[in-house]
Amino acid sequence: MFGATLSRWTMSYFAAALAFLVIGETMMVLGYGYPAAAMEAPETLALVHTIALGWLSLLMAGALLQFVPVLVGRPLCCTHLALPALVLLVAGIAGLVLGFVGLSGSIDLPPIVLPVAAVLTIAGFALIGFAFAATLWRARPLPLTARFVVIGLGALVVTVLLGGTYAFVLGGVAGADAAIALTLEGVSLHAVLGLGGWLTFTTMGVSYRLLTMFMLSPDGERRSSRIVWLSGSGALGLVAGGIPLILAGSVGRFALLLLAAFLGVLAVVVYASDIFRIYRERRRREIELNIRASIGAFGALAAAMVLFVGLLVTGRIEQGIGSLVYLVAFGWLTGMGLAQLYKIIPFMTWLECYGPALGRTATPRVQDLVVEMRALRWFRAFYASVLIATLGLSVGAEPLFRLASLCQLVAILVLVLEFTRARRLSNVPASLRLPTGAQRPHLFLPSFQLWRQP
Amino acid sequence: MTIEPHELDVRPILRGGGDPFPVIMNAVDNLVPGQALRLIASFRPVPLFSVMAGRGFSHQEEALGNGDWAVLFRPQEQVDDIRVSGGDMNLDGWPDPTRQLDLTDLDPPEPMVRVLAALEKMEVGEVLFALLAREPLFLYPELAKRGHRWAGNFDATGEIYRILIRVGKPDHHVGA
């Protein structure tokens, strides 16, 4: 059986992810973690993991539940793993964040919380990662877009294993020299593989398919896209290769990482030209808000690359790393995530609600579930706040950063409200809202009928 | 499967001094999966053989006399690329399509809506043929739920998806 069905738990993943995003934004508004605290302070680790795991990784996992079948044209294997994985991930990530807060000394928690939370998180990723891997394995030979996901999943495995090691060391459970060496020297590799491999590389692969689909652009596999895949995979492979070098204590790591940086920049540059071409060759003149709002994310990715090269050349990477990571996490990944949620949520809601009635009676269009003009301003406010916050971080103006974070929090809350309105069919004219055969979807839990499907 | 070949006589175009190539390519694009093209021309269209081979067609020539030629272009077997709905899929027994839809210019998910709407107006056993710009991944489960059978594949350029759908009745024993 070919085809893709609706993923039952994707909406629940999105809801949990957005909750973590709101928590993370609130932490920044309140001045918790970087830049008020040091980069390596436990407060910063709590903030970073709220965003990178709670928001971005849950978002990615939920999106892949829906997109992996679309990329390979086959239903997902082991769909029953999605719920236990979500439960483990939410418990594990919340535990990790609390564990870091405990390390900072502001609450009293036993140190064992961190390793236990790490085990829960790894178990959650293992379950959902197994479902993705099994689906991809059965769909061989894989199209190029799906091969991006394979590399992204590989990066996820290395990232969580490194993270698990740190949690055991910080929790006082592991004391081996190798584990301590990794904790002292491997954090940047952990961050690059997480943000650059798992989150960015996967997003790049999925975006090739989504953008061509929504804009009716030619979507054949191009040589340029293969170059992006090869150079990106090469860069991530070299970064992962830094881990045995740390363990062996041998030199040569700098050259390795420099080559990885070159390949990474090459991948992003070719990717940017591909994206530019997809927009230019589109057959739809009018593009929807999710595609317009993605332009801000692509701009942020390009800006982050320029900043990265600039910092590398001037030897100021240590001073600028905060702004760089912020720009990648919020401008690129969060911007892209919010923009695509603006399409994915209405589309899934539309199919869930009106699928059985399609063709039999008049149904609303997907576009009727949203009001783009209203959301457009909030996307603009979001990107403006990212820009100001990045500048605030670059010049060390903490009050400006917190003010920009407040604007960002408001923009995100309004966008969450827009997602909720789409889900609730609030924008659909009452006469069309629930024709015969349509079923009103739950806000973020699967509907009963979907629940009972095998 | 033995769908009747599509017959195209380009002799009138050649007599009028026109270029038959775009007409031939258009006809090729509109073939249903597995369908052959029978081309009749006032000369032996040698240059076309390599073009058609590039698009996955073999050829078989026949001289008709008076310098006229008939060439049967058959799609080479590509069973692996044809996606079928499963169940009883003896395509030989399918009638010719009674409705044809070209939905290649519509934004997703509009093609899905149009196909389902067209199927609702057709009788059980009738066949719809549609051209799409993308493989309709979300349409398949909906077709299965409604008891329809389908077979589809990309054309040789990989840009247009062709699908034949035979109207059926919902059958709760068939898994969606």
Tell me the per-residue pLDDT of B65-74, one tens digit each, with 9 for 90 and over: 888 999 998 8
pLDDT tens track for A79-101: 999 999 999 999 999 999 999 99
Please judge whether B113 and A358 are an interchain contact, meaning their C-beta atoms are less than 8 angstroms apart.
yes
| pLDDT tens column, A152-181 | 999 999 999 999 999 999 988 878 888 998
**H or E element in which residue A229 lies:** helix A223-248
Chain B residues lying within 8 Å of A363, measured CB to CB = 113
Residue range A319-361, pLDDT digits in tens = 999 999 999 999 999 999 999 999 999 999 999 999 999 999 9
CA geometry: angle at A91 spanning A90 and A93, to 5°?
65
Mind listing the pLDDT tens digit for each residue in A408-445?
A: 999 999 999 999 999 999 999 999 999 988 888 999 98
B159 to A218: CB separation less than 8 angstroms, yes or no: yes
Nearest to B10 by CA among B18, B20, B22, B25: B20
Note the pLDDT of residue B55: 75
Q: How far is A214 from chain B (nearest CA, A)?
A: 7
Chain A residues within an 8 Å CB radius of B160: none
User: Any idea which residue has 């090691």 for tokens?
Assistant: A165
Q: What pLDDT is attached to residue B77? A: 55
- Distance between CA A39 and CA A75 in Å, rounded? 42
For the segment B88-129, what is each residue's pLDDT rounded down to a tens digit? 667 778 888 899 999 988 888 999 999 999 999 999 999 999
Using pLDDT thresholds of 50, 70 and 90, give the confidence band for residue A148: very high
For domain B83-167, the CATH architecture is: 2-Layer Sandwich (3.30)
Q: Are A34 and A47 in contact (CB under 8 A)?
A: yes
- Report pTM: 0.86
Count how many pairs of residues, chain A against chain B, have C-beta atoms within 8 Å.
63
Encode A23-50: b = buried (16+ Cβ within 10 Å), e = exposed: bbbebbbeebbbbbbeeebbbbbbbbbb
Q: Which amino acid is at A141?
A: P
| pLDDT (mean) for A274-298 | 93
Sign of the CA dihedral with A45 first, then A84, A127, and A155 last: negative
Residue A369 pLDDT level (bands cut at 50, 70, 90): very high
Q: Which residues of A lie closer than 8 Å to B, measured between beta carbons?
A: 1-5, 69-70, 73, 213-214, 216, 218-220, 283-284, 347, 350-351, 355-356, 358-360, 363, 365-366, 453
Look up residue A55 and give its DSSP letter.
I
Can you give the pLDDT at residue B173? Answer: 47
| CA-based nearest distance A225→chain B, Å | 17
Domain boundaries, chain B: 6-75, 83-167
Residue closest to A182 by CA, chosen among A207, A162, A198: A162
Q: Provide the pLDDT for residue A408.
A: 98
Distance CA A442, CA A206 (A): 27
Cis peptide before A69 (omega within 30 of 0): no
- Domain B6-75 and domain B83-167, same fold? Reply is yes
Determine contact, residues A45/A100, Cβ cutoff 8 Å: yes
- On the question of pLDDT at B153 being above 70, the answer is yes
**Residue B149 parent element (H or E):** strand B149-154
- For A117: left if phi > 0, alpha if psi spans -120 to 50, otherwise beta; the answer is alpha
Top pLDDT among A172 and A364 is at A364
| Percentage of chain A lying above the pLDDT 70 cut | 98
Rounded mean pLDDT, B24-48? 87
Instruction: Compute φ and ψ for B41, nearest 5 degrees.
Output: -140, 165
Chain-chain contact of B109 with A213 (C-beta, under 8 angstroms): no
**Contact with chain A for residue B99, Cβ under 8 A:** no
Q: Are strands B161-166 and B149-154 parallel, antiparallel or unpaired?
A: antiparallel
Higher pLDDT, A283 or A250: A283
> DSSP secondary-structure letter at A141?
S
Q: Which comes out higher in pLDDT, residue A7 or A198? A: A198
Residue carrying structure tokens 């090459």:
A266
Work out whether strand B127-132 and strand B99-102 pair parallel, antiparallel, or are unpaired: parallel
CATH code of domain B6-75: 3.30.110.40
Q: Quick: pLDDT tens for B93-103.
A: 888 889 999 99
> Tens digit of pLDDT for each residue in A47-86?
999 999 999 999 999 999 999 999 998 889 999 999 999 9
Say which residues have a Cβ less than 8 Å from residue A200's Cβ, sequence separation at least 6: A301, A328, A332, A333
Q: How far is CA A287 from CA A154, A292, A365, A453, B107, in A?
A: 34, 7, 15, 35, 10
Cβ neighbours of residue A116 closer than 8 Å, sequence gap 6 or more: A95
With a pLDDT cut of 90, the percent of chain B lying above it is 35
